[in-house]
Amino acid sequence: MKVRIAPSILNADFARLADQVAIVEHAGADFLHVDVMDGHFVPNITIGVPVVRALKRATALPLDVHLMISDPDRYLEAFVDAGAAMLTVHVEVLPHLQRTLARIRELGAKAGAAINPGTPIAVLSEVASDLDHVLVMSVNPGFGGQHFIPRSLEKVSALRTWLAASGSPAAIEVDGGVDLGNAHALVSAGASILVAGTAIFGAPDPAAATVALRRAADAR
Ligand code: DX5
Ligand code: ZN
């Protein structure tokens, strides 16, 4: 499976967002990962619908919108309308997960479920056919620049095995502490979308960092 690179703008210079996005777009990024935080589900507050709408005008990259918010159902339509091509919701806040995922697809976006490091993959067992992707958090969500939790690697493997057994073509996305040192192992374990914030926008040359991450991911 082709590995796709999704730079996370959380670590970009927000005062120069369009320029920063253009840099990774020209360097061959596949998606733009947009972290929406509400100060409630996670301790940080970031950006919302207006910024997603502005990004949509600024880039041709599909917007991969990661909702770290307590009540995602209220905002699904607004984010898809603003330009989200992929919408990812956290299972930890969703008592009606199947309904939410079905609604995202109905709105015309790819539907994804995110699971925190402390959440077992078994919570997804009844929704395999409703998923376009699963986002495995490899740090506890809320901030960029945290250390990758090594256990996440086994989680990705187990998820890969379970998705295959369920006949699901859902992609596995990994988010948090992804860098040149773990990209290859993650892909070998079954990840096909790598989110990277600090490893790309924290690097002196984000374009070179995007290319290097793809090389590391594809290395044999
Ligand atoms: C963390 C966010 C991530 C974050 C990744 O809560 O969901 O997308 O931007 O940043 P790094 O790659 O620095 O861990
Ligand atoms: Zn994210």
* HSE-CB of 5 using CA atoms within 13 angstroms: 29
List active site positions. Answer: 35, 175
The confidence score (pLDDT) of residue 160 equals 98
Q: Is the CB of 146 under 6 A from ligand 1?
A: yes
Given a cut of 80, whether residue 65 has pLDDT beyond it is yes
- The count of C-alpha atoms lying within 13 angstroms of the C-alpha of 2, restricted to the half-sphere facing its C-beta, is 5
In the three-class reduction of DSSP (H, G, I as helix; E, B as strand; rest coil), residue 34 is classed as strand
The reported pLDDT for the residue numbered 20 is 97
Could you tell me if the CB of 139 is within 6 A of ligand 1? yes
Residue 84: its H or E element:
strand 84-90
Pocket test for ligand 1, best of 139, 180, 213 (most atoms within 8 A of CB): 139
- Closest ligand 1 atom to Cα of 200: 12
Q: Is the pLDDT of residue 4 over 80?
A: yes
Contact in structure between 156 and 190 (CB atoms under 8 Å): yes
C-alpha 186/C-alpha 215 separation (Å) is 13
Q: At what angle do helices 17-26 and 49-58 cross, to 10 degrees?
A: 50
**Residue 165 amino acid letter:** A
Is 90 exceeded by the pLDDT of residue 14? yes
pLDDT value for 219: 85
pLDDT digits (tens, 9 = 90+) for 131-151: 999 999 999 999 999 999 999
Handedness of CA 7, 8, 9, 12 (dihedral sign): negative
CA distance 205 to 42: 29
pLDDT at 156 over 90: yes
pLDDT at 220 over 80: no
Mean pLDDT, residues 92-105 taken together: 98
| Structure tokens that stand for 103 in this block | 């609604």
Q: How do residues 159-195 score in pLDDT, each as one tens digit?
A: 999 999 999 999 999 999 999 999 999 999 999 999 9
- Among protein residues, the one whose CA lies closest to atom 6 of ligand 1: 141
Q: Kindly report whether the global pTM for this prediction surpasses the value 0.75.
A: yes
Pocket test for ligand 1, best of 44, 68, 195, 213 (most atoms within 8 A of CB): 195
Confidence tier at 1 by pLDDT (50, 70, 90)? confident
CA distances from 18 to 12, 51, 55, 194 (A): 10, 11, 7, 21
pLDDT of residue 49: 98
